[in-house]
Amino acid sequence: MAHYFASDVHLRADHPERDRRFSAWVGRLTPADHLVIVGDLCDFWMAARRGEDPLTGCPSLRALAEFRRQGGSLAVMAGNHDEWLCPAYARELGAEILTEPQDLTIHGLRIRLVHGHRLGARRLWKAGMESRGFFHLFGRLPGPVARGLDRLLTWKNQRGLLADEERHLRVYRAYAAACRDVADLVVIGHVHRPVDEPQCRPRLIVLGGWQCHSSYLCIDLSGASFHVDHERVDRPDPTALPCSPH
Ligand SMILES: [Mn+2]
C-alpha cells in the first residue's frame, strides 16, 4: 500500500500518447493504494469543451474510475485548467475533491499540498482565464477559433517559459520556507519541470507535467521517493518542447 501524488497530466484528446502513458501508470496501481492528483488532470481545452461528458473516449479517466471502483482511494485538487471540471470528477470518477492548501500526515511525514497557481507568480491575464465566464465562453467558441486561440496561448507560453518557470520556482521556494513549522514536505504542481530539493527544509517537490516524461511522488513505509521517468515516453508529443507551458 502506497500513497501516490501526480499533477499536470493535462489530458486532451489531441495528445493520445500522454493519455495512454498515464492510463497505463494508473493501471499499475493496486486497490490498496491512494492517489492524489494535485491539479490540472485535464487540460483547459478538454475541460471547457467536454465538461459534460469527460469520460467518453479518455482512457486515463476510465482508468481512474476503474481504480476507484476496485477500491482505490482517489482525491483531486483543482488546478488552473480544470477547476470547473471538479464536480464531474466527483460524480464520474468518485473522486474526493480537495481544497487548497491541503495538509496531510502520512507515516509521520507532514505534507503541504497546493497546485501552485495562486502563490503569487502568475500573470494577471492568466488569472482572468480561470474565471467561470471565460471557461464557458471558450467552451462555446467554434472549433477552429478555439484551436487557434489554444495555439496562440501555447506559443506565448513557450516564448517566456524559462523565465516564467524561474519566477515560479523562486516563489515556490519562499512558500516552502514559510511552511517549515507545519510541513516536512511541500508538494506543488503547475510548473511542468520536475524539481526535487531534498536539501531544503521543508523538502520541496514540484511534481512536473506529463507532457514529455512521467513523474510522481510515492510515499510508503520506507519514506518519500520522487520518480521522473523519461524512458516510458515512447512517442513524445510532436509539439512538446523540453517542458510545456502550464
Ligand atoms: Mn497549472
What distance in Å separates the CA atoms of residue 235 and residue 238, rounded to the nearest whole number? 8
- pLDDT at res. 55: 62
Is the bond preceding 144 in cis, omega lying within 30 degrees of 0? Answer: no
What distance in Å separates the CA atoms of residue 187 and residue 206, rounded to the nearest whole number? 6
Q: What is the pLDDT along the chain (246 residues), one digit of tens a residue?
A: 999 999 999 998 888 899 999 999 999 999 999 999 999 999 887 766 665 565 667 899 999 999 999 999 999 999 999 888 899 899 999 999 999 999 999 999 999 999 999 998 777 777 777 777 877 787 888 888 888 888 888 887 777 888 989 999 999 999 999 999 999 999 999 999 999 999 989 999 999 999 989 999 999 999 999 999 876 554 544 444 444 456
Helix locations, 79-198, DSSP H:
86-93, 124-128, 132-140, 143-159, 161-178
For the whole model, what pTM was predicted?
0.88
- Which structural domains are found in the chain, ordered by start? 3-229 (3.60.21.10)
What's the 93 CA to ligand 1 centre distance in angstroms? 20
What's the 244 CA to ligand 1 centre distance in angstroms? 11
- pLDDT at res. 224: 97
Grid cell in block for residue 30: 493496486
What distance in Å separates the CA atoms of residue 172 and residue 187, rounded to the nearest whole number? 10
- pLDDT at res. 234: 46
What's the 63 CA to ligand 1 centre distance in angstroms? 22
- pLDDT at res. 140: 81
- pLDDT at res. 54: 58
What's the 161 CA to ligand 1 centre distance in angstroms? 13
What's the 192 CA to ligand 1 centre distance in angstroms? 8
- pLDDT at res. 236: 45
- pLDDT at res. 241: 43
What's the 41 CA to ligand 1 centre distance in angstroms? 9
- pLDDT at res. 123: 74
What's the 180 CA to ligand 1 centre distance in angstroms? 24
What's the 202 CA to ligand 1 centre distance in angstroms? 22
- pLDDT at res. 102: 98
Strand partners, 193: none
Are 240 and 208 a contacting pair, CB within 8 Å?
Answer: no
Are 232 and 214 a contacting pair, CB within 8 Å?
Answer: yes
What's the 114 CA to ligand 1 centre distance in angstroms? 10
What's the 189 CA to ligand 1 centre distance in angstroms? 7
